[in-house]
Structure 1
């Protein structure tokens, strides 16, 4: 029964991964066509319409999504570890929500706090991944030293925040090199924000990352602590 459940979840993961791959390919074709036919700048007296730079951002995100969706399988092959299928399904779900819904379908502007929801989700997912990686390395005996629940929780917390910071650096560089608006320093109509408002999106993202990772690491810490106490009492 256990093997059947594992196979069923693995098949589900593979189907979701294939579906995401096909959707991203379709999105790339669609966005590339929109780059050709969309205006370079919106008319000042017209309602907001997406311009070429908006679709360039979508194309960049879709192309990046095609690359990063294979990161789990590459890690599994290079390091010879098995990332849980449920974790990969969450990862594919996040990519779909962030790229297809967020960028291509414009959910970042249409759905209030969509960006913050995804940041909280990704931070929690990455913190969980930190716990999973430590557990995998302990199981394969690659970690020969005792790691306390507090140390593992701290590692998971820092792991999630580091990825969040790297993402903000990527957004900053992309905005500077390609004249995009990933850090939302401008409104949807192109109006530039100034002062503290221009920094708000980046700082809000980092704060949400911190809170999302903190919740999961606290839960993970108490779970590991409870498991450790149970093992000591049984011995």
Structure 2
């Protein structure tokens, strides 16, 4: 079992000026196996990317990368920024990089050719169910990954994001069963509903989802990430222990 901490956990600290390079040290102290850095949290890519990589190497931590962008633009063309994102990933020494799919429904080219210039043999590319109908449904995800694997891009995978199914009205259990064969990474967070308003709690056991049932459906040999804001390292440690108690780590 590999447990990653997504830096959304430290949202309040980031808003108060904390850099992700400093969060690497905290993640290591908390006993996680790796850190998932968020591109939108970087203020100076040129200086911060190598520093994150340096500190992660010192602590022997895995680095994953969450990029808030799409693979396919509104007209169906491949996002021209993908090459730059992968170069950033190479600086970070990534294991995995994550995107949203975007408008694959409008793509008309050859997938293998389209992705041929990306270092997919170095960095694993995954897509996530986001909070949109374009990229966040089982049909959209499976259609893209079926096509990618048929084209020979068998390394492309899927990030199962539990909390996001509430935002698209999807069935989290049915999605887990349907997408389990493609799942390379699992983002855990719960969702609350208050007078019709959805929120993200700071506790896996609070909310509408039974995360224990879900992880029993999904592959047990893939990485997990906790991805929800928490206000103290004590709280984070408690949530790590809650998770580890369940998976027997």
**Pairwise TM-score range, normalised by the shorter structure:** under 0.3
Q: TM-score, normalised by structure 1?
A: 0.27
Q: TM-score, normalised by structure 2?
A: 0.26
Between Structure 1 and Structure 2, the one with more strand by share is: 2
- Larger Rg: 1 or 2? 1
